[in-house]
Structures are given as structure tokens and as C-alpha cells.
Structure 1
Amino acid sequence: MAQSLYNVFFSPTGTTRAVVDKVADAIAADLDISNIIVNLTQPTKRPVAVGGEAGNVLVFGFPVYGGRVPAVLADSIKKFDGEGVYAIPVAVYGNRDYDDALVEAVDLLTAHGFKVVAAGAFIGEHSMAPRVGEGRPDAADLAAAEQFGHDVAAKLAQENYERPQVKGNRPYMDAMAPRDDRPKTTDACTVCGICVKRCPMGIIDAEDPAKIGEGCLQCNACVKSCPVDAKYFDDEMSLKIKAMLEGNFMARREPELFL
């Protein structure tokens, strides 16, 4: 019987955490086990070893970047110890598609010894185009995430450890080509430091937040967290992507669950 659940997530804008917290809390409550939160968002918090003893449970939440698992998590996943640990990958995407991200997560976890028993894809507000999936996850999404957690717990309680068939392709789609597009900063900036703390790559200068180093993920954590709306992207490619998303992916999509 499981002794602990590891709620592990990477969530620059908080949408992924909102979903995985619901899933993890429901599983831990139903199985009456401890719930250990491991937040991989900040660079000083990763990589870290998670998994523990056989029989434990891992809920692994991540945002989908270009249809794939974020490459920034590669080193963290290498530290995972999943021998005999039951895993539930949870992908959160911006209402376009999760493409091969979920099946890639299944493969990565399986390669590190985890037994994947369920998986889910949920919708969050798109980081680059907030009108796409606006307000997601909403109350219905969070209720679905909580029910998914209850269903996973019931499956584990019945000692059903079968791996579900998850949507996605092998080989995976090509990862996005690296781009060095960085947010800009207006004169409204008050140097409050919020964006510095929220940046998952640690590349915003604390003394002058207008200075951004290489390695931006375009997660928009700095844009969404700025209390005076001083951060923004206006490079040509970002604007093209935003227009494409708003022109083609406004219709509501619903969570897809695999048990």
C-alpha cells in the first residue's frame, strides 16, 4: 500500500498547479496517504530526486510547450526514482492541442521505472494568447480534475495497475526550434522584483528588470505577474503565433482522461 504521494509540477503561471493540486489532493485523501509537494518551477528548486519507495504515487504536472514536455525539465526527470512507484502524468495545454506531450511523458516516466496507471490532459489559458482558453482552468475543469483524482485512487485501491492507452505519436513531433525572443519592459516598471521571482529560468536582472538574459521560455510568467503591466512581447514571431491561435483555436476543448 502506498505511503506517500508526490505532487510534482512545473507551473510558471499557476495553471498547471491549479489542476494537479486537485488531482493529487483527491488521490491522497482517498488513499489516506501523505501529500508531498515538489515545485520544480524555480531554477533553484530543480533538479530534485522524487519517487521514493515502491508503492508510492507520483502525480507529475507540466505545461505543454509546442506539443512536447518542456525541455527545461529534462534534468529533473533524470533525477526521478520510480522503481515500483505508480505515476500519473498530467499535461496542461492552451486549448490548441497537447499533441505528443502526454505520450512522451508516459515514456519518460516508464524509462525511469515508474508504472503509469493513468494520465490526463487539461486546458489552461494559453500563455502567449490569453484569449485562447481564457479563464481556464475554470470550475468545471477543476471539478473534472478532482473527479479524475478520485477515479485514480479507486483504480489503485482495486490494485489495478494496468497502463492506459494514451493519445500521441511515436516518434514524437519535432520540438520547437530555439528562439531568442525576450520580453520588453515599459517605463511603468517599478522594480518591484515580482517578475524576477516568478521567472522559471532566473534570467531577469534584479537591479534592472528590463535586462533579460538568454534562455527565455516565453512562458509569460513575468507578463502575467506584473502588477503594472510593464512586461510584454511584441516580436514578429510572437505576434504571428498569437494571431494564429486566436484565429483558429477559440472553440472550447475539454479535458481528456486515460484510465
Structure 2
Amino acid sequence: MEIKSALVIFFSPTGATRKVVSSFVQGMNIDNIQIVNLNLSKERAKLKLTISSDILIIGLPVYGKRIPKFLYPFLTNIEGNNKPVVLITVYGNISPGWAMEELYVITRRRNLRAIALGKFIGEHSFSVSALPIAKGRPDQADLSEAKMFGKLTGEKLMAAQGIEDAELKLAKPLIVGNMITFLHAIFPQKSGNIFTKLPSINVNLCQMCGICVQSCPKQAIDRNDLSIRRDLCIRCFSCVKNCPSGAREIKFKKKIVVTWFLNKQGRFSKKPEYIL
């Protein structure tokens, strides 16, 4: 299969997923690239996206073991046209959850054919100086692995006779779809809200630069007083990570319990995994 063009779709409020996806694309060595940045509400508002490029690459972060729910309206309106798709999820070294399985089911139902799956690690959204979780990741080793993943995917497609030859043969996709539906029913929709408070602001440090307002993917921050709408905040903490003066802060609910849990779950450095 000859691949000359790619459509790259990603959501990456703190930049980790974007770095992994960019390295993957470099490895594939495709010149004709179109990008859809789902950080931007105008991109998410598109009612229908028909895939005309030779391949689709989707990169999403894992929030509470799942892909961000508010991306569903966009993802479920993609028209795949039987095109190959690469799926990449990025999690904070705690658990990859079932986000990949969830994304696989969605894209399969949208007439896309998965030819490669990758799970990578990025710095956890809750990571702070007192509680570093996958600090600095994806690091250079992660990005080199993502680039190699892209190279191997490109080689696989070049050797394939057609999409049937390249497509991953995953067992029992309908059972997986039913499992995802069940897990959705029993797992909290906004688990980040359980562990953290709304990002607070130190008015003595704030420079009123507006970067937090611009970087918020949900447009949850008021431009005038910089307050945050509780009903819109998804606890991605883009406002904290991108603040140049360190004026915003992550605060945990039941700090002792949450700190113990995150330390226990994230103490071992996990490595990227991919299937071709």
C-alpha cells in the first residue's frame, strides 16, 4: 500500500500526546500532513469529517481510564471510508485503562480499519513538584520509541497488498464493544473531580497574561476574573502546566489518601507498548 497523505487528529492540552503523535508521524516519513487539533473548540464543532487522506492517525490522552467523553460527538461523526487508522493513547504511568479498546470500537463502527495500536506514557495531569508522576515524559526514549513505531508502521503498509492484508485481526470486537458499554455504566464520568479541586490561583503571582484562558480546551476560564466554571472543567490542568508565573496550583481532596494511592500506583516507570 502506498501512503502519500495523512490526516492527524489529536487532543493534547498539556502537550504530551502531541509530542508522541509528532514523533510517530516523523517515523512514517509522510510529507502531506493535515492536522486537526481537538484542543480547539471550533475543530470539535465540525459536524462531520470525511476521511480522504490515505491514512488517519488519532492520538488521545487517557482520563480516568477512558478517552475524554466530550470528544465522542466528534469521533462518532467521522466517516472513515474504509481507510487505515493508527490509534495512539497516552496515559500518566498509572493505568492505560480501556481507552484503547474504547477508541478501537468507535473507529471500527465508523468504517475505519485499525492497522496499528500504541500505548505511550506522558506526565500525569496531577503531577506536581511534591508528587511527580512520570515527570518529563514523554522523554527522549519515549519519543524515539514513537518514531520507531511510525517507521515500522510505514514498512508494514508498504509490504501490504491491501487494507485486508494490513488490518489488525483482533479477536471478538463485538464482545469488546459490549464490555466498554458495561464499564461506562459503572465507572464515574469525571473521576478527576473525585481526587482534585478546581485549579486555584494565587493573585499575587498572576500576571494577567491570559495564557490559562487561551490554553483551556473547554473555555472554562473567565477572561475577566480568571474564575473557572466547575461544570466545564475537565481537570486536564493545562492552565497549571502552561502558566508562566506558577500562579495556578493543583490541590488534592483527601490529600493523604490520594498521595498514597498515586505513589503506590505510579512508582514503577512503565514503557510504551504497541501492536502492528
Partner of 2:64: 66
1:14-163 to structure 2, matched below 5 A, reads 14-27=15-28, 29=29, 32-48=30-46, 49-53=48-52, 56-130=54-128, 131-159=132-160, 160-163=165-168
**Is the CA contact 1:120–1:256 (under 8 Å) kept in the aligned structure 2?**
yes
> Scaled by the length of structure 2, what TM-score is found?
0.85
Contiguous gaps of at least 5 residues in structure 2: none
Q: Give secondary structure in 2 for the equivalent of 1:254.
A: coil
Report Cα offsets for 1:2-32 as digits up to 9, x if no partner.
Answer: 44201110000000000001112322x2xx5
- Write 1 or 2 for the structure with the bigger share of helix: 2
Q: Distance in 1 between matches of 2:137 and 2:51?
A: 33
Q: Distance in 2 between matches of 1:151 and 1:248?
A: 31
Matched, 1:182 2:194: no
Partner of 1:203: 220
Q: Give secondary structure in 2 for the equivalent of 1:236.
A: coil
**Is the CA contact 1:110–1:116 (under 8 Å) kept in the aligned structure 2?**
yes
Once the 2 structures are TM-superposed, how far is the Cα of residue 35 of structure 1 from its aligned partner? 1.0
Q: Distance in 1 between matches of 2:79 and 2:123?
A: 31
Q: Give secondary structure in 1 for the equivalent of 2:59.
A: strand
Q: Distance in 2 between matches of 1:3 and 1:80?
A: 21
Q: Distance in 2 between matches of 1:138 and 1:233?
A: 23
Identity of aligned residues (%): 30
Once the 2 structures are TM-superposed, how far is the Cα of residue 239 of structure 1 from its aligned partner? 6.9
Superposed CA RMSD? 2.3
Indicate which of 231, 247, 254 corresponds to 1:214: 231
Q: 1:183 to 1:15 in 2, by over 3 A?
A: same
1:243-254 to structure 2, matched below 5 A, reads 243-254=260-271
**Is the CA contact 1:60–1:87 (under 8 Å) kept in the aligned structure 2?**
yes
Once the 2 structures are TM-superposed, how far is the Cα of residue 78 of structure 1 from its aligned partner? 2.1
**Is the CA contact 2:198–2:228 (under 8 Å) kept in the aligned structure 1?**
no
**Is the CA contact 2:9–2:36 (under 8 Å) kept in the aligned structure 1?**
yes
Q: Distance in 2 between matches of 1:218 and 1:12?
A: 10
> Scaled by the length of structure 1, what TM-score is found?
0.90
Task: Please tell me the residue identity of whatever aligns with 2:212.
Answer: C
Q: Report how many aligned residue pairs link the two structures.
A: 255
